[in-house]
C-alpha cells in the first residue's frame, strides 16, 4: 500500500469528502490562501473556492460559532483552530451551545461539526501554543473527542467525524504531521469509539494516546530485548471510549501503564484508571494501575525543559520495567 504523511492523509480526507458532499466546507484562520498554519488545507481554496474554504479574522469564537450555526441549519462545517490552545476562546460556543443543542431539542436538532485542533509540544512553540486539552472536553456530554496517532487513522477518523451527527473535537499532534504510514486511496471510515490493539503482548498493557502510541511502540521494542513483552492499545477516540479491548488485555497481562502527554492532574488517564478499577479487570491486577503523563506545568520554551516536561521513550521504558519487575 502507498504511504502518505499524516498531514497529507488529512488533506486527502478533506479533498475527497468535499467532492462527495457539497454540504462540507472549511473555515479558519489562514486556511485558504496560506494553506493552513501546518499546510493541511493546501490548495483546497483554489479547488473549491472562497465560499467553501473560508479565511476568517482572528476570532476563534467566531469560527466556532459559525460552525455551530451552519451545522444546525444542515451544513457539515470543519473548523480549524490554528493552535488547540486557542480553543479556550470558544468554550461558550462549544460547551453551552454545540454540546447541548441535541439534548435540549430532544434530538430534533443536531450539530454535525468538526473542530480540528493541532496541539502538543515538541516544536518550541512555548506555553501558549503547545498544550494538550482533550480531558476538558471528555467531561462535556454531547462532545466526541478523537485523537488519531497514525496517517491511516487520521484519514479514516476524520471522514467518520465529518459524517457524525454530533460535534467532534479532533486533536492532531503537531509532531505527527510529517510521520508516514500506509493509507488507502479510497474513502474509508474508522468507527468512533473503537479501540485498536496495535501490538500484542503478555507481560504488560500500555494504553497510550496520540504521539505516545509511537513512543510506546519504540519503548516496547527496547523492552522486548530485555524479555518484556508489551501489549499496546490506542483508544483512538477517548469519548466515546471503548473499554472492551483494554479490559481484555489487562485480564491477560495483569498490569497496566497509561501514557498521555497532558498533565496528570485531571487528565484522561485518571478517568481511564478509574474505569479499569470499576471493571472486571480489577480482580486480575497484580500491580497498581500506573499513569505516566506530563509535568504539572505549562510547556517551557527552552528545548531541554520542553523535552523533559512530557513523557519520552526512555520514561516509558523505565516505568514499564518497574511495573513488570514489581518495584512499586
Report pLDDT for 272.
Answer: 98
pLDDT, tens digit, for every residue of 176-230? 999 999 999 999 999 999 999 999 999 999 999 999 999 999 999 999 999 999 9
The average confidence (pLDDT) of the chain is 97
Give the mean model confidence (pLDDT) for residues 108-131.
Answer: 96
CATH topology of domain 3-182: Rossmann fold (3.40.50)
Give the mean model confidence (pLDDT) for residues 274-290.
Answer: 97
Give the mean model confidence (pLDDT) for residues 257-272.
Answer: 98
pLDDT at 259 over 90: yes
Report pLDDT for 253.
Answer: 98
Give the mean model confidence (pLDDT) for residues 262-272.
Answer: 97
**Contacts of residue 214, Cβ cutoff 8 Å, sequence gap at least 6:** 149, 150, 176, 179
pLDDT at 302 over 90: yes
CA–CA gap between residue 164 and residue 159 (Å, rounded) = 9
pLDDT, tens digit, for every residue of 3-44? 999 999 999 999 999 999 999 999 999 999 999 999 999 999
Give the mean model confidence (pLDDT) for residues 95-101.
Answer: 97
Give the mean model confidence (pLDDT) for residues 144-151.
Answer: 98
CA–CA gap between residue 211 and residue 174 (Å, rounded) = 9
Q: Structure pTM?
A: 0.97
Report pLDDT for 212.
Answer: 98
Domain ranges of the chain: 3-182, 196-324
CA 164 from centroid of its chain's CA atoms:
16
47: cell is 479547488
pLDDT at 129 over 90: yes
For 156-222, the DSSP string reads: HHHHHHHHSSS-EEEEEEGGGTT-EEE--SS-----SS--EEEE--SSEEEEE-THHHHHHHHHHHH
Give the mean model confidence (pLDDT) for residues 76-98.
Answer: 97
CA–CA gap between residue 302 and residue 122 (Å, rounded) = 10
Output DSSP code: residue 298: P
50: cell is 472562497
| Closest of 205, 90, 206, 196 to residue 147, by C-alpha | 196
Q: Confirm whether 3-182 and 196-324 share one CATH topology.
A: yes
The residue assigned the cell 478523537 is 146
3-state secondary structure of 234: strand
Report pLDDT for 326.
Answer: 92
Report pLDDT for 11.
Answer: 98
3-state secondary structure of 123: coil
Number of alpha helices (DSSP H) and beta strands (DSSP E) in the chain: 12, 14
Report pLDDT for 77.
Answer: 98
Q: Which CATH class is domain 196-324?
A: alpha beta
Active site residues: 60, 129
Report pLDDT for 36.
Answer: 97
CA–CA gap between residue 7 and residue 13 (Å, rounded) = 10
Give the mean model confidence (pLDDT) for residues 48-54.
Answer: 98
Report pLDDT for 180.
Answer: 98
pLDDT at 328 over 90: no
Report pLDDT for 1.
Answer: 84
Provide Rg for the chain, Cα atoms.
20
Phi/psi region, residue 281 (left: phi>0; alpha: psi -120 to 50; beta: rest), is: alpha
Amino acid at each position: 500500500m502507498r504511504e502518505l504523511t499524516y498531514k497529507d492523509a488529512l488533506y486527502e480526507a478533506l479533498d475527497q469528502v468535499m467532492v462527495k458532499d457539497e454540504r462540507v466546507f472549511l473555515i479558519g484562520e489562514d486556511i485558504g490562501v496560506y494553506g493552513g498554519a501546518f499546510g493541511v488545507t493546501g490548495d483546497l481554496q483554489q479547488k473549491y473556492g472562497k465560499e467553501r474554504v473560508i479565511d476568517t479574522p482572528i476570532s476563534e469564537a467566531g469560527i466556532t460559532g459559525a460552525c455551530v450555526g451552519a451545522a444546525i441549519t444542515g451544513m457539515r462545517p470543519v473548523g480549524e483552530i490554528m493552535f488547540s490552545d486557542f480553543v479556550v476562546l470558544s468554550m461558550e460556543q462549544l460547551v453551552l451551545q454545540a454540546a447541548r443543542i441535541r439534548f435540549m431539542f430532544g434530538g430534533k436538532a443536531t450539530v454535525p461539526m468538526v473542530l480540528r485542533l493541532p496541539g502538543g509540544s515538541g516544536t518550541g512553540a512555548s506555553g501558549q501554543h503547545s498544550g494538550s486539552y482533550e480531558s476538558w472536553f471528555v467531561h462535556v456530554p454531547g462532545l466526541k473527542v478523537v485523537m488519531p496517532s497514525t496517517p491511516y487513522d487520521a484519514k479514516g477518523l476524520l471522514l467518520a467525524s465529518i459524517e457524525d451527527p454530533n460535534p467532534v473535537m479532533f486533536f492532531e499532534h503537531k509532531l505527527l504531521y510529517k510521520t508516514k504510514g500506509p493509507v488507502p486511496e479510497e474513502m474509508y471510515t474508522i468507527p468512533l469509539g473503537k479501540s485498536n490493539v496495535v501490538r500484542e503482548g503478555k507481560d504488560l498493557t500500555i494504553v497510550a494516546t496520540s504521539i505516545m502510541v509511537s513512543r510506546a511502540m519504540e519503548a516496547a521494542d527496547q523492552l522486548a530485548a530485555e524479555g518484556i513483552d508489551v501489549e499496546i492499545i490506542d483508544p483512538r477516540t477517548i469519548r466515546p471510549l471503548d473499554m472492551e479491548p483494554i479490559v481484555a488485555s489487562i485480564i491477560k497481562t495483569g498490569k497496566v501503564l497509561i501514557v498521555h502527554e497532558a498533565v496528570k492532574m485531571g487528565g484522561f488517564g485518571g478517568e481511564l484508571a478509574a474505569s479499569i478499577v470499576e471493571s472486571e479487570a480489577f480482580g486480575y491486577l497484580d500491580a497498581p494501575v500506573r499513569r505516566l503523563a506530563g509535568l504539572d506545568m505549562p510547556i517551557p520554551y527552552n528545548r531541554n525543559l520542553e523535552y523533559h516536561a512530557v513523557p519520552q521513550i526512555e520514561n516509558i521504558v523505565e516505568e514499564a520495567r518497574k511495573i513488570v519487575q514489581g518495584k512499586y
